[in-house]
Each structure stands twice: as C-alpha cells, then as structure tokens.
Amino acid sequence: MAIRRIRVFPDPILRKKCRVVRRVDDRVRVLAADMIETLDGAGGIGLAANQVGALQRVVTIHLPGDESAIVLVNPEVRETEGEREIIEGCLSFPGYEGLVKRSVSVKARWLDENGSKMKVTAEELFAQAIEHEIDHLNGILFVDHLLAHEKLVAAGTLEREDEPHMHDVELEVHADHSDDAIDDERNEPDESDVEIVQSTIKFSDLYSDSSISQMHYDLRSAGYVIDDPDPDPGPGRQRHNGDGQNRVESDDPHLNGGVLLDPERRN
C-alpha cells in the first residue's frame, strides 16, 4: 500500500467524470488499498478515486468509530429520503468547510473489493458520505451545493467534529507476534509479543505545497470566503508544525483549529 497525493481544487481532474469499473481485479484492489491508506492518513471520512488522480468509479469510506474503511466500486444511489442542512468539508479543500443540503437517508448499491454486490440503506453521516463521494465521481464538488459563495468558510469557524488533520501525525502501529513463536508454550498473550511501530504521516506526503497555495488563490479569486482572515498566505509557507500534537499551531489561520479526530481508530 502507498499514500497517494491528494488533488486539491482547482485541479481539473476533480471536474472529470470517472469511468465505470468493468471488472474488480487486483489493479482495482491496489488502488482501493492505496486510497484507504491515504484516507486514513489524512483523517478523512471519504475519498473518491479522481481525488488521487484515477478516473475510475472507486470510493473508500471510513466512518468515525468503524474499525476499517469500506470500498465502494460503481456506487449508485437508488432512492433518497428527507433533507437536512449539514456542515461539510472535503479532502480536496483542506482547511475549508461549508453548509450544504443532503439527504437524511439513501438506498445505495455497489460492488465491494471482491466484486460482491452490496446493498444498504444508509443514514446521516454514511448517507452524506455516499452522496458526497458519488458527486466526486461525477465531477461535482461540495462547493457546488453551497447556498452562496460566502457560505464557504475557514475550517473551525463552524461547529464540526470530523475535521481532517492538517499536520504531520504520529501513528502507533501495534504488530502482534504472538502467533509467530514456534516453541512458545505459553497460552497467555505476552506484552513482549506486541511490537509497537511508530510511523509518521507527513502533510507533505498528502498534499503538494504549491497546489495548496493555488487552491487558496483560486478560491479567493472565485469570490469564496469573503471573511478570509489572511488574504495573502504567500507561496511556500509552512502549514504544519510536524510535532504530532492534535491541535495545530499554524501561522496560517485556515489551518488553526484542525483537530485530529478519533486517533484510536487508526491503530
């Protein structure tokens, strides 16, 4: 598995329509595995393939509290119910969020990573994620659903719990070696069997600095974020402190208040 660079607005690939996957094969599974690693590295909830440069109808979703992410190939919404206003963000707009209208529940179907047919009635955040990600596959972005340009604001301005993190993150990976020992007569698991591996996911692994600068520029040019507290962040500024803390002490006001959500789930 590998982390892939996340494309940010206004990268033209975000406006492209993704192609239907004809066969769920190993190439699709590798793409999906990379997308899950990228999604989890960024602390996001959903990721569509064109956000990492692949024009295929593949989506990964990792809901907070769920042990692992799911893969949705050729996802379709068959039916929607209700309407609600909800704050939304997107990994292709790091540091921004806005109020959009989404369905309360959706009936959806897709193929999983083994090509098996899946069918669910999803509600609330799951429904929102499915709608948001299928939009991506059709070249539609959440800013297209905003009621007005000024409804897009710097992240942290609105009350929202599922902020992706905008900084380097230390992950503790627990590797269990209790099954590895050949002559281990003990039945009880031992702490020495568990190896703790530290790994760092860098913000620069996820995003290119020039694309972030371009995003700020283009959003302002398009009239978004009229209350922008910092009209000129300038190119090449550091946007993460890299100390692994949950709260960002960035000098970029767009990125202050980025909180690492539910770090437990990434173990």
130 binds Ni ion per the rule CB under 5 A: no
When asked if residue 69 is in the footprint of Ni ion (CB under 5 A), the reply is no
Q: Is there a catalytic annotation at residue 264?
A: no
Secondary structure (DSSP) of 184-204: ----S--GGGEEEEEEEE-HH
Give CA 83 to chain center in angstroms: 23
Q: Least Å distance between CB 113 and Ni ion?
A: 20
Size of the site for Ni ion (CB under 5 A): 1
DSSP state of 18: P
Q: Is 215 in the site for Ni ion (CB under 5 A)?
A: no
| Cα–Cα distance list, 78 to 119, 120, 130 (Å) | 10, 10, 12
Q: Which residues contact 45 (CB under 8 A, 6 or more apart)?
A: 39, 61, 62, 63, 64, 125, 129, 162
- Name the catalytic one among 97, 133, 185, 264: 133
Among the residue ranges 88-96, 99-107, 167-175, 236-244, the one whose residues contact Ni ion (CB under 5 A)? 88-96
SS (H, E, C) 220-247: HHCCCCCCCCCCCCCCCCCCCCCCCCCE
Stretch that binds Ni ion, among 24-32, 85-93, 94-102, 189-197 (CB under 5 A): 85-93
Distance CA 242, CA 56 (A): 33
Give the contacts of 262 (CB within 8 A, at least 6 positions apart): 64, 65
Say how far apart CA 90 and CA 39 lie, in whole Å.
11
Least CB distance from residue 87 to Ni ion, whole Å?
13
Q: Smaller CB distance to Ni ion: residue 90 or 219?
A: 90
Closest to Ni ion by CB, 9 vs 110, is: 9
To Ni ion, the closest distance from the beta carbon of 158 in angstroms equals 16
In the list 8, 90, 106, 127, the residue contacting Ni ion (rule: CB under 5 A) is 90
**Considering the rule CB under 5 A, would residue 8 count as an interface residue with Ni ion?**
no
Q: Which stretch binds Ni ion (CB under 5 A): 23-31, 70-78, 90-98, 216-224?
A: 90-98
Binding residues (CB under 5 A) for Ni ion: these are: 90
Q: Which amino acids are annotated catalytic? A: 133
